Structure 1
Amino acid sequence: MFHKEGAKIILFSLLIAVIVIIGVEYLISTPWIIKTIQIITLLLLVVVLQFFRNPNRSIQNISDHLILAPVDGKVVVIEEVFEPEYFKDKRLMVSIFMSPINVHVTRYALNGIVKYSKYHPGKYLVAWHPKASEENERTTVVIENPVYGEVMYRQIAGALAKRIVNYAKVGEKVYQGNDAGFIKFGSRVDLYLPLGTNVNVVLNQKARGNKTVIANK
């Protein structure tokens, strides 16, 4: 199953792959060169297909008391930080870095009402750069939940990511586990939780969207 955001790229990649695989048979006479080009083309097609995969991650027990991982990746930051855009106070930030081979679907980490949703154009620093959350292209979304209050998540573009897709609209009721957007070709997502939140993950832990419990209450 593939994400809808990859439809055009996948179709274009398939077309190019077919043209190259068939075309080299007529343009090149050396068998080993033909096979090499065809194999490389197929491998590149597989990379595109795996990047846009959207595995079914159904949630058995949706709960307002749990905050689930919004994306697949590795937990790279757990620390108190000052959040200047919306809260303008200290929050507990949990940051998940996605490599190009991770699933890049962003899912809602919790139920609630969207209170804030804003896109920021910006730079394309590597996603783990300390300034990435403030200077890179990004979207900021705040969801009000009956148990946790207001929780923010931020999609951040990386050096390869050139387009962030965000589905959250202010005033909309959203549900844990549903698609919240997509980040094309690598990046990270930061969660900003209330201070004192019981965090269930540790640094360098691998997280799975809709499966790993980031926090509970």
Structure 2
Amino acid sequence: MSGLLVFITIAFLTLSSPGPGVLFTVTNSINYGVRTALFGISGLIIGMFIIAVISASGVGLIITSNPTIFTALKFIGAFYLMYLGYKNFIKKSPTQDLLETEHNEKTIKKSKLFYQGLFASLLNPKTIVFFIALFPQFIDIKKEILNQFLVLSLTFCLIGFLIHLVYANFSSIFKEKMLAGNNFSKLNKVSGCIFFLLAVLLITQ
């Protein structure tokens, strides 16, 4: 039990740290409302779970041990972050009626947010490295390994979902203040620049 508590603590600290996923959730919540942002969050979490399964299956080890595959994934992930940054940077300020969440939710296909979140998770090879490095520390080889991986993966994803839900609701609370005047345009340009910065860091590290 103590090992699980340590794992939960590490997962909480890792997932609550601002990164591409958190920025993605915050931006979506402000632009489209919490209910629509949930589709993006679902994509992020499902992608996270798929990465966990890949790591557990041994495929993740093959990917991380093959420089060509790992580098290719890293560049694909970086370019995808740049794409998200570009989309945010050029987003136009809404008219006053777009301050209403119900109207905002109609301005984008929910499936689009889902797939954006999914790809944001799947195209980040550092997530695979994280799972491969972290999970073995909490695995008891005397017990069923697959079941332990499943418990850890589901626990990690549940924590991730709850944290992103908190970020989404917190962002939505301050939505009107953020959208007032030119704040909306400034916010999207700042988030776009941060996505670009994260992409550069992903390539250079």
TM over 0.5, shorter chain = no
Higher helix share: 2
TM-score normalised by L of structure 1: 0.25
Between the two structures, name the one with larger relative contact order (CA 8 Å, sep ≥ 6). 2
TM-score normalised by L of structure 2: 0.26
**Pair member with larger Rg:** 1
Higher strand share: 1
